[in-house]
């Protein structure tokens, strides 16, 4: 019956599971790397791609906004606002940051 119960040792010399003093710092580094590669890096890539999208918008592009509006860029102002034509008579002004994507030409006619 001795094989079901592990023996207790008074001194740590005979103990099989001695604690490594470097275990905690190593685990913190591993957790930090995991946090960086799984959370921080993808978020930075998305932010960089969105910034490039914002700088590439020009007059005449068909865009999709966060609110679901699809329109053609009519005017781009210097202070970060964009005028979007939804149809021939309706025009809305939104912040440039709220544009989600640039659509291929002819998307508005196909809808």
Residue 8's pLDDT is: 65
Topology adopted by domain 58-111: SH3 type barrels. (2.30.30)
pTM summary value: 0.65
Residue 111's pLDDT is: 80
DSSP notation for 54-111: HHH--TT-EEEETTS-EEEEEEE-TTSEEEEESSSS-EEEEEGGGEEEEEPTTHHHH-
Strand, coil or helix: 27 = helix
Residue with tokens 């002004």: 93
Q: Which residues of the chain have pLDDT under 70?
A: 1-18
């Amino acid at each position: 019956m001795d094989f079901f119960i592990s023996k207790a040792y008074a001194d740590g010399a005979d103990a099989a599971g001695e604690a490594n003093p470097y275990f905690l710092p190593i685990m913190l580094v591993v957790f930090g790397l995991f946090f960086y590669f799984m959370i921080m890096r993808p978020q930075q890539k998305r932010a960089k791609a969105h910034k490039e999208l914002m700088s590439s918008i020009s007059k005449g592009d068909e865009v999709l906004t966060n609110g679901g509006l699809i329109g053609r860029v009519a005017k781009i102002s210097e202070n970060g606002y964009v005028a979007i034509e939804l149809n021939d008579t309706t025009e809305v002004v939104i912040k440039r940051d709220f544009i989600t994507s640039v659509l291929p030409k002819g998307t508005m006619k196909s809808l």
